[in-house]
């Protein structure tokens, strides 16, 4: 009886692998492949989440190299660790935010407003001021499309799950807005990131190499299974849930015996 109840509870609490919604052809468009001499249009207008004021990319960059992180502000998959790990790596560089570099988020979903961006910042970095707190931008569909197209950043909305399949990538820009490097925010370290920022600040660009195709999409939609990263996260969450339910069952059983006594 207890085993049946436990199984039923797990079915409710643990997410089920979703059926494939995006096709393999659609997912093939989800990658970062900057064209030669790719450059961000610095005159693009956005709204900054903090203060909800209009800004341009040029104003946000301020003549500094910029670590640009395209994100989905309501994402429940990899965007959160992308943000927190990027902030930790930037702090480990020993460089000063706002003086030596800029840290900028751009929302991919134009339906997400400034409040959604602020909620993500508070959830991942806390409400207190931080030396590496990014400047979070929201923009119109046209502005987001212009920026991502210029950078060769391909993403595909999935209306069926109200999510966006997009590369888990950070784009390092020179002060002039040229793409210097494509980085994985899930594998950044302070030493390498410091070197990349210094080189980008000098206008130097590295080899862009192959397309970066690590997805932030929760599960591999082509196969209908969870990606390894999310699968590990869910495994930990599943173990914690099982232990919690088991403890609750034991406490209820003990309470029942006490009442009968």
Q: For every residue of 19-85, which 3-state class applies, written as one string?
A: CCCCCHHHHCCCCECCCCCCECCCCCEEEECCCCEEEEHHHHHCCCCEEEEEECCCCCCCHHHHHHH
Q: Apex CA 196: angle with CA 189 and CA 96, to 5°?
A: 75
pLDDT of residue 14: 38
User: How do 156-158 and 135-138 pair as beta strands?
Assistant: unpaired
pLDDT of residue 1: 41
pLDDT of residue 2: 40
| Separation between Cα atoms, residue 159 and residue 38, nearest integer Å | 29
pLDDT of residue 259: 65
Taking the complete model, does pTM exceed 0.95, yes or no?
A: no
pLDDT of residue 41: 96
Token output for 4:
């049946």
Residue ranges of the chain with per-residue pLDDT less than 70: 1-20, 128, 206-244, 253, 255-261
For 71-92, how does the pLDDT look when each residue is reduced to its tens digit (9 = 90+)? Answer: 999 987 888 899 999 999 999 9
Token output for 131:
């030396």
Q: Residue 213: name the closest of 28, 34, 82, 54 by CA.
A: 28
């Amino acid at each position: 009886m207890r085993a049946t109840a436990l199984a039923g509870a797990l079915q409710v609490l643990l997410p089920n692998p979703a059926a494939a919604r995006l096709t393999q052809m659609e997912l093939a468009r989800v990658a970062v492949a900057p064209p030669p001499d790719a450059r961000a249009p610095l005159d693009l207008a956005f709204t900054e989440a903090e203060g909800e004021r209009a800004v341009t990319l040029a104003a946000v960059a301020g003549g500094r190299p910029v670590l640009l992180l395209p994100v989905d502000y309501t994402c429940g998959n990899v965007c959160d660790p992308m943000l927190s790990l990027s902030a930790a790596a930037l702090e480990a560089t020993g460089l000063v935010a706002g003086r030596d570099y800029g840290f900028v988020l751009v929302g991919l979903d134009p339906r997400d407003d400034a409040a959604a961006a602020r909620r993500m910042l508070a959830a991942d970095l806390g409400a207190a001021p931080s030396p590496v707190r990014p400047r979070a931008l929201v923009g119109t569909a046209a502005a987001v499309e212009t920026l991502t197209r210029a950078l060769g950043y391909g993403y595909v909305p999935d209306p069926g799950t109200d999510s966006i399949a997009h590369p888990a990538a950070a784009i390092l820009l020179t002060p002039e807005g040229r793409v210097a490097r494509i980085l994985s925010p899930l594998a950044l370290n302070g030493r390498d990131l410091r070197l990349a920022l210094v080189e980008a600040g000098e206008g130097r660009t590295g080899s862009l190499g192959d397309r970066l195709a690590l997805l932030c999409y929760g599960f591999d939609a082509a196969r209908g299974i969870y990606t390894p990263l999310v699968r590990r996260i869910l495994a930990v969450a599943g173990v914690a849930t099982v232990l919690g339910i088991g403890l609750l069952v034991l406490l209820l059983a003990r309470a029942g015996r006490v009442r009968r006594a």
